[in-house]
Amino acid sequence: METKQFPGLCPYYCSQLEANCQEALRFLVSHISPELLGDDLCERLILLDEQYCYPSILTVEESEGRNQIQLTNSEDCLCFEEYANKLRNPVGLKYPDDGSRRMFVVEQLGCIYILYENKTRVEKPFLDLRDRVIIEPNKAGDERGLLGLAFHPYFAANGRIFVYYVSRGVLNRTRLSEFRVSSDNPNEADANSERVILEIDQPFLNHNAGELIFGEDGFLYIATGDGGAAGDPHNNAQNKNSLLGKMLRIDVDKTTGEREHEPRLPYSSPQPPNPFAKDKDARMEIYAYGLRNPWRCSKDLGDPTTGHGKGRIFCGDVGQDAIEEVNIINKGGNYGWRASEGFRCYDEDLCGNVGEEEKPIYSYDHSVGRSVTGGYVYRGCESPRLNGIYLYADYFVGKIFRLEENITTNQWQNKEIDVCGPELCNDGLISSYNRKIMAFGQDPKGEVYPTRFRNSYFWVGRWEHL
């Protein structure tokens, strides 16, 4: 069996292992050459963040109560409405453009469920992949599982869906697969119709990313992490011959490679081509690179009147030990990792030596939060003052933020979202939300839904005090 490095050990824990169980520690990293490790194993294995390293991450208190945030009666506050509950690890909410107004919630444990506008839920999963997905359901911090869902732009006619998951068959291999809707029941996908599109071997257990988005161009965008561990030890994100640490873009409607040396593939390079499609030393699938752990990306629906922003892809990229960032993904862009972390130099040998870097539209340090959760640009009607504002969160501190664009200066201003006091949250709305926001979703009307780790789902309510 292939051994894996356990990423991000706490300093005290690694020191104990090195002192008392050095052979076991070396076994964990036996696939890394001795010259890379050096004499001190823990220099490569530790992570200083006590809320993020193993085993402390297993004992960090997970509050089941409401997030303790200062309530306000100001004009910029929000109320919330519970939309659905008893969901486990919801990592996304997607909808097909088929007029059905169904929403599909993706559970990391391997199931996809259908939700209706009236808050009812189809009890039987739309797709159950628990026999194919690998994840430890009771292990805090496991980043594997079912991670992405996208509906083909012509889903109403062809019934094609695409999912991204960590496969049970091969230890830590991520898989992009296509499924078809059952011919007998539109609320069920045919689990036997799986067609594997792309597989990527992951060197470590974390940073699997997995967001899937069909762009305005009709092509499928796939966000991948850098392969895991700490500090991208293989420098995958900057290596254009690796699919890790990238935003990929493929044409799932064609099955031929674009270059002579490529085998016949179940997908093709888009036309016009990706930026490195003609580079023999790069993978044709790469659209952008230099990402660390893009945890949740989204496509802007655009201003309903002017169309501004339509099609932009936003990603929250989780930082190493200092900086969290939000990026707009541009064709051919290099987002810096591991040379840099946000606006900060990370690897002194690489910093300044990887060419021009795309910088975040916003970043924050770990005094504010520790793990960004990418969100959506609000384009709904319930909260008109949110129109055009990018909503996102920080998983560890449980705060929701808003980024507002100045179209003239192309700058973004960040602000934490206040929660209204109970006297303003009436008519069934509430003045609190649960911690550990794992993802966001968006419905056909542009409303935005944050999802909580484990068992709850909340709709972003309207501005109460106008």
Domain boundary among 371, 391, 424: 371
CB 347 within 8 A of CB 336: no
Q: Which amino acid is at 389?
A: I
Which residue is associated with the tokens 């699997």? 208
CATH of the domain at 147: 2.120.10.30
Q: How many domains does the chain have?
A: 2
The verdict on 127 and 29 lying in the same domain is: no
464 is a domain residue: no
- Do 147 and 29 belong together in one domain? no
The parent domain of residue 46 ranges over 1-60
CA atoms of 239 and 224, how far apart (whole Å): 13
> What b/e sequence results for 173-189 when a residue is b if at least 16 CB atoms lie within 10 Å of its CB, and e otherwise?
ebbbbbbebbeeeeebb
Are 335 and 281 members of one domain? yes
198, 164: one domain: yes
- The pTM assigned to this predicted structure is 0.87
Structure token digits, residue 86: 């008893």
Q: What's the confidence (pLDDT) of residue 157?
A: 96
Confidence (pLDDT) at 263 = 62
The residue ranges of DSSP E strands in 29-145, in sequence order, are 71-72, 77-85, 90-94, 103-107, 111-115, 127-128
One domain for residues 288 and 141: yes
Cα–Cα dist 88/111, whole Å: 9
Per-residue pLDDT of the chain (466 residues; tens, 9 = 90+): 333 344 567 887 887 777 777 666 666 555 454 544 445 667 667 766 666 677 776 554 444 444 445 555 566 788 888 888 888 899 999 999 999 999 999 999 999 999 998 889 999 999 999 999 999 877 777 899 999 999 999 999 999 999 999 998 766 899 999 999 999 999 999 999 999 999 999 998 899 999 999 999 999 999 999 999 889 999 999 999 999 999 999 999 988 654 555 567 899 989 999 999 999 999 999 999 999 999 999 999 999 999 999 999 999 999 998 999 999 999 999 999 999 999 999 999 999 999 999 999 999 999 999 999 999 999 999 888 899 999 999 999 989 999 999 999 999 999 998 888 888 887 778 887 777 899 999 999 999 999 987 767 677 665 544 3
CB 449 within 8 A of CB 384: no
Whether 92 contacts 86, CB under 8 Å:
no
Of 200, 199, 249, 198, give the one whose Cα is nearest residue 226: 200
CB 218 within 8 A of CB 195: no
Residues 98 and 173 in one domain: yes
Residues 249, 105 within the same domain: yes
Looking at the structure, tell me whether residues 250 and 319 fall in a common domain. Answer: yes
Domain boundary among 371, 400, 429: 371
CB atoms within 10 A of CB 384: 11
State the DSSP code for 36.
Answer: H
DSSP labels for 395-458? TTTTEEEEEEEETTTTEEEEEEPEEEPTTT--TT-BS--BS-EEEEEE-TT--EEEEETTTEEE
Question: Of 371, 395, 414, which residue is a domain's last?
Answer: 371
Q: What is the pLDDT of residue 2?
A: 35
pLDDT at 22 (0 to 100):
67
pLDDT number for residue 85: 84
